[in-house]
Amino acid sequence: MFLKNAWYCAGWDYQVSQGKDAIVARKIAGKRVVLYRKSGGAVVAMEDQCPHRQAALSLGRKEGDALRCMYHGLKFESDGKCSEIPNVEKVPEHICVRTFPVVEMDNWIWVWMGDPAKADPALISRGVGPSDPDFTTRPSYIQVNASYLLENANLADLSHSSFTHDATIAMGLAQALAKPTHKVIPRGIKTDWWVRSVPVPKFVQHLFPPGFLCDANFDVTQTYPCNWMLHFRVFTAGTATEGESDGHLVLDSWSCQAVTPRDAESVDYYYSWGVSKKTEQPGLADLLKEGLDAAFNEDKRMLEAQQQRVKEDPHFKQMGIGAADGGPARMLRVIDQLIREEQEAERPTAVAA
Amino acid sequence: MFLKNAWYCAGWDYQVSQGKDAIVARKIAGKRVVLYRKSGGAVVAMEDQCPHRQAALSLGRKEGDALRCMYHGLKFESDGKCSEIPNVEKVPEHICVRTFPVVEMDNWIWVWMGDPAKADPALISRGVGPSDPDFTTRPSYIQVNASYLLENANLADLSHSSFTHDATIAMGLAQALAKPTHKVIPRGIKTDWWVRSVPVPKFVQHLFPPGFLCDANFDVTQTYPCNWMLHFRVFTAGTATEGESDGHLVLDSWSCQAVTPRDAESVDYYYSWGVSKKTEQPGLADLLKEGLDAAFNEDKRMLEAQQQRVKEDPHFKQMGIGAADGGPARMLRVIDQLIREEQEAERPTAVAA
Amino acid sequence: MFLKNAWYCAGWDYQVSQGKDAIVARKIAGKRVVLYRKSGGAVVAMEDQCPHRQAALSLGRKEGDALRCMYHGLKFESDGKCSEIPNVEKVPEHICVRTFPVVEMDNWIWVWMGDPAKADPALISRGVGPSDPDFTTRPSYIQVNASYLLENANLADLSHSSFTHDATIAMGLAQALAKPTHKVIPRGIKTDWWVRSVPVPKFVQHLFPPGFLCDANFDVTQTYPCNWMLHFRVFTAGTATEGESDGHLVLDSWSCQAVTPRDAESVDYYYSWGVSKKTEQPGLADLLKEGLDAAFNEDKRMLEAQQQRVKEDPHFKQMGIGAADGGPARMLRVIDQLIREEQEAERPTAVAA
């Protein structure tokens, strides 16, 4: 079950070029969506099935700003109206394809899957995109065959990093032993926490003197469906104060992640890690990307096995452990409530007798 | 749902040789069928499961005109009777495997899946086979993972050619703009139409002077399950009259196509395109085959995506557009009626009180 | 449906080494199980899902004799008790993972999937393992995507050998024509029979003079779930008497086979064929393994096609043939009864009023 009135990330802007054949098929929250750019660059998002016989519009042809279905030749303008049917003099008004509001923000394409009247761009989760001039950022992508709810639970609790990512991005046991507090915000949770005098992750240890320790701050905003924006700063241990801090900054970075449910059992995961110009070094952004790619393959393996077990054994009574459950519990409650509220609002009102 | 009392094409005759191990497994209208040839050449079609424990007879061994199940050694004569069970002195009468009437016609093997008493060879859809001495014909094959009903709709309306086959066999927009009329015949529809002063398809344009135009006649007979026989003639533009015509004939050809449902979601598609000896040139039949192979891969891509959407979104309210719907609507109505009539005939009659 | 109170073979002992990363995932009778060795070598079998959030423990880390879940770091001792949860001072008593009794016997690892109190090692089906000093034995493995019930029927009647294994291990028509009698024993059946003056199997014929004939004795014990232990002796034809026999022994061998259901439609098949030291020759055990591997691929093809047909056509009325059905009928009845008895014992008792 998915929220309709929400912005879903449909990918990186560079994935939809102005190319003649650049027509991109996606599955978003269970619905097939086709994306292409008009002249001028605006992205069009349409339901990826022709209203005539459900042919795939993503197998169609761009004609100016319109998209022609290449099965029977119906031509759809970028607002979804059918402007031409071969051999039909006057196209009936009602023939059209559904379009979805689109906004590009932070180099991501965002699609609103619900009531267009409610599509407020201010609801979009903000991050730092690859084109931000103050950061050097590498975008990446992975498909994970697991529910976005398992992804939310994964991202709402970084303690797993110390185990799942021991060989890559973990800071020793620091994340497992931290006790972050999570604040519920509209459509998600916010978590801001420090770890102190901890080792740097294994995948970057060769860049530091042996035994080098650091302080680090994680400032995370996680919102529906699973948009996860992290401002991540690393300081030489003992030099950082809370808040902005004027300590010795080793790394100032943003990792921005958008996990879009394809259907109930798989997600498209668009993510990046960018280093600020002030802490940049040649090759550093590339290393961060490599580290994150490796870590997300570790998560993929873990989550896909978990998905398999949850599916095979849906009545298994999971046991809470306290500590690590705080973030996931809050985030999953937020999602559950958003969906229930939307469904109740859609229900026809009972008329009093 | 399939018609039982119908001839289904089970493949090209050359696919079932007299070889010692030439035992061919098919799935036809949901049923598994095994084919082999007796000495003398007659094809036997049996249900492809041993009545004992449902082992695959297609994993069996030809012994003379009989087929032995290689699980427990039951031997079945070509009429389906069990003639030998190892260690059993007298084979019980009732042990037998179902056989199906078979006819070879136009180099196709046709199997009747219903009541043998009704298996009238006159019901077989006729075409021009590869062995017809007046034509040079190349047979081919493709599997398409889509319902035979989507295939019927596809073939009952050639307007799609102008779009789906724009790069291969389309004659520009000619097919999309034509207004053929469809005549309902027993078990199908018949369509006979002309296009005039139209370009030749792209895949043969290099053989003609620039700007060369032609007249062309499509004479199509389409019957259940999805047998599609086309007499296709091309003339130098302006030289052809209706009917037989004595215009300047550029191509006289037959394309014969038999689409057999394997199950509800996939078909075996056996097809050919043959050129008459009078308009033949070395390599021309090969080119026609290449063009048709390319076109049918275009269809396959389109139909499989359509099948996927129809399956995912079965309550989608498709919108009629008029023009292109005439052929498919008639053909699908014919199929629907055939199946309903057969089912009603099978229903036990209510006894009046 | 599977019996719970039973020993299931979880593989060859050499498949679970003492290696740091030697953590083996299995599916046994529908349940996911993880195996590893403690220091000292004892095998631990645990349910392969963390009680916290169903993560796969088989993606975990061995720590001494314990296994740590590498999702959130819960550490489980070899008795299943959780001994550590990061950030949690006192681990709640109830947090534990289910463990299963394990016994190693004849180089196989046996796991008891039911009530530990009933796990009597005397119930384990005995064979001759690769480490038996009196035999030279080669272990092997195949996965078959068919029900263990079809495997039981296959193994309870060797008449199929004459057909399915005609090219490999069959002794001509000898097995098909034999009339063994099957004796019901606790949890299975026992079959002891001779074939006389029969050819040796094709895969070994090159080792014998042309026309060489033999007598052979099959002494088989088959028990739930599908453990099949064969003492197989071959003599020069005419030299063997019943029972122990002091005839001219050509081959004294054991083939021990354990077929473990993964789920309702697939099995793990661990098997071996070993030749006694007194009839051994260099390379002979290797040849026996090659022959059995080839034969089991023949079975796999046959059984997977049968499984497919049984699944597609579950209401097909199979026809008994007598002869070959005796063994399978008895064995399947034993299994059916074992499962029914267990289910009835589990049902809450009705209290008399």
Instruction: Give the DSSP per-residue string, B18-56.
Output: S-TT--EEEEETTEEEEEEE-TTS-EEEEESS-TTT---
C341-346 long-range contacts, CB within 8 A, separation 24+:
C342/C3, C342/C4, C342/C5, C342/C114
Give the residue ranges of DSSP H helices in B166-283. Answer: 174-177
Q: Which of B43-52, B183-192, C322-331 has the lowest mean pLDDT?
A: C322-331
Asked if B49 and C322 come within 8 Å (Cβ–Cβ), the reply is: no
A54 in reach of chain B (CB within 8 A): yes
Q: Which of C63, C72, C59 is nearest to C32 (CA)?
A: C59
pLDDT in tens, A253-265: 999 999 999 999 9
Interface of C with A in 109-168 (CB under 8 A): none
What are the pLDDT digits (tens) for A315-346?
999 999 987 899 999 999 999 999 999 999 99
Which of A49, A72, A95 comes nearest B313 by C-beta? A49
Nearest beta carbon to residue B177 from set A49, A58, A86: A86
Instruction: Report DSSP letters for A204-225, one per residue.
Output: GGGGS-TT-EEEEEEEEEEETT
The C-alpha atoms of residue A226 and residue A203 are separated, in whole angstroms, by 26
- C-alpha C308/C-alpha C146 separation (Å) is 8
Token pair, residue A93, equals 């008004």
- Which of C56, C61, C94 minimises the CB distance to A309? C56
User: Which SS3 state, helix, strand or coil, does residue C253 take?
Assistant: strand
The strand order across the sheet containing B188-199 reads B135-144, B266-276, B249-263, B227-236, B213-223, B188-199, B182-185
CA pair distance B256, B228, nearest whole angstrom: 6
**Residue A323: what pLDDT?**
79
Cβ contacts of B52 on chain C, cutoff 8 Å: 318-321
| C332 interfacial to chain A (CB closer than 8 Å) | no
Please, are residues C280 and C288 in contact by the beta-carbon 8 Å criterion?
no
Within 10 A of A295 (CB to CB), how many other CB atoms are there? 19
- Contacts with A301 from chain C: Cβ below 8 Å: 59
Question: Does residue C270 contact residue C9 with C-beta atoms inside 8 Å?
Answer: yes
Whether B119 has a pLDDT exceeding 70, the answer reads: yes
Which pairs with CB-CB distance under 8 Å and at least 24 residues apart come from B231-236?
Answer: B234/B200
Give B70's contacts in chain C (Cβ within 8 Å): 163-164, 166, 302
Q: Compute the distance between CA of residue C241 and CA of residue C44 in angstroms, rounded to an integer.
A: 46
- CA B47 to chain C, closest CA, distance in angstroms equals 11
Q: Which of C178, C302, C313 sits opposite B71 (nearest CB)?
A: C302
Using a CB-CB distance cutoff of 8 angstroms, which residues of chain B are in contact with residue A70? 163-164, 166, 302
Any A CB within 8 A of C95 CB: yes
State the distance between the two ends of chain B, measured CA to CA, in whole angstroms. Answer: 33
pLDDT tens digits along C102-137: 999 999 999 999 999 999 999 999 999 999 999 999
List C-alpha distances in Å: B235 to B171, B196, B208, C156, C298: 13, 9, 13, 71, 58
Residue B14 neighbours by CB distance under 10 Å: 11
Q: Which residue has the tokens 């275009």?
A: B298
CA distance B184 to C79: 75
| Cα dihedral across residues C291, C294, C299, C302: positive or negative | negative
pLDDT digit string, tens, across residues A26-66: 999 999 999 999 999 999 999 999 999 999 999 999 999 99
Which among C178, C179, C321 has CB closest to B95? C321
Residue C264 vs residues A318, C144, C305, C309: alpha-carbon distances, Å:
25, 12, 15, 15
CA distance B50 to chain C (A): 9
**Chain A residues touching residue C94 (CB < 8 angstroms):** 319
| Residues of chain C neighbouring A331 (CB-CB closer than 8 A) | none
A324 interface with C at CB cutoff 8 Å? yes
Mean pLDDT score of chain C, rounded to an integer?
96
Contact B73 C319 (CB under 8 A): no
Query: Tokens 């009539």 label which residue?
Result: B341
Q: Bridge partners of B89?
A: none
Asked if A95 and B323 come within 8 Å (Cβ–Cβ), the reply is: no
The reported pLDDT for the residue numbered B105 is 97
The pLDDT value recorded for residue B351 is 60
Give residue B347's pLDDT.
85
At residue C33 the predicted structure's pLDDT band, cuts being 50, 70 and 90, is: very high
pLDDT computed for residue C352 by the predictor:
52
Angle of helix A148-155 relative to helix A284-312, nearest 10 degrees, comes to 130
Check residue C245 and give its pLDDT. Answer: 86
CA-based torsion, C17, C22, C23, C28: positive or negative: negative
- The mean predicted confidence, pLDDT, of chain B is 96
**Lookup result for tokens 């990046």:** A272
The tokens 């019980």 sit on which residue? B92
Q: Which pLDDT score is estimated for C222?
A: 98
Q: Is the pLDDT of residue A129 over 90?
A: yes
Instruction: Determine contact: A264 vs chain B, CB below 8 A.
Output: no
Identify the residue among B28, B54, B61 best suited for mutation to test binding to C, counting C beta carbons within 10 A and taking the highest: B54
Report pTM: 0.95
Classify burial at A150, counting beta carbons within 10 Å of its beta carbon; exposed 0-12, middle 13-18, buried 19 or more.
Answer: buried
pLDDT digits (tens, 9 = 90+) for B28-76: 999 999 999 999 999 999 999 999 999 999 999 999 999 999 999 999 9
pLDDT score recorded for residue B243: 85
Residues in chain B with CB shorter than 8 Å from the CB of A54 are 306, 309-310, 313, 316, 318
| Alpha-carbon span B114 to B109, nearest angstrom | 16
pLDDT at B302: 98
Tokens of B312: 């995912």
What is the reported pLDDT for C90?
A: 95
pLDDT of B311 higher than 70? yes
pLDDT one-digit tens code per residue, B261-287: 999 999 999 999 999 999 999 999 999
| Low-confidence winner among A71-80, B175-184, C290-299 (lowest mean pLDDT) | B175-184
HSE (CB half, 13 Å, CA atoms) of C282? 0
Q: Is B26 on the interface with C (CB under 8 A)?
A: no
In this prediction, residue A208 has a pLDDT band, given cuts at 50, 70 and 90, of: very high
Please state whether the peptide bond connecting residue A225 to the residue before it is cis, i.e. omega within 30 degrees of 0.
yes
Subunits close to C (at least 3 CB pairs below 8 A): A, B
In this prediction, residue A352 carries a pLDDT of 53
Q: What is the DSSP string of A297-310?
A: HHHHHHHHHHHHHH
The position carrying tokens 């949901």 is: B30
Give yes or no for B264 touching C (CB within 8 A): no
Contact list in A for residue B316 (CB cut-off 8 A) is 49, 54
| Beta-sheet strand order (sheet of A31-37) | A24-28, A31-37, A43-47, A99-100
Torsion of CA A202, A203, A205, A211, to 10 degrees: -10
What separation in angstroms does the CA of C137 have from each of C129, C142, C254, C336?
Answer: 7, 17, 8, 33
Query: What is the C-alpha to C-alpha distance for residues C87 and A287, in angstroms, rounded to an integer?
Result: 31
Reported as a single tens digit per residue, the pLDDT across C198-251 is 999 999 999 999 999 999 999 999 999 999 999 999 999 999 998 888 899 999
Interchain contact, C88 vs A321, CB within 8 Å: yes
- C-alpha closest to that of A275 among A256, A254, A294: A254
Distance CA C290, CA C280 (A): 16
What are the pLDDT digits (tens) for A144-182? 999 999 999 999 999 999 999 999 999 999 999 999 999
Residue owning tokens 């069970």? B85
Residues of C in contact with B46 (CB under 8 A): none
Which chain C residues have a beta carbon less than 8 Å from that of A302?
55-56, 59, 70-71
Contact yes or no for C165/C295 (Cβ under 8 A): yes
Which residues on adjacent β-strands are paired with residue C85?
C88
Taking residues A179-196, report their average pLDDT.
96
Contacts of C214 (CB under 8 A, 6+ apart): C171, C197, C198, C199, C200, C234, C235, C236, C237, C250
ipTM for this model = 0.94
Nearest Cα of chain C lies from the Cα of A152 at a distance, in angstroms, of: 13
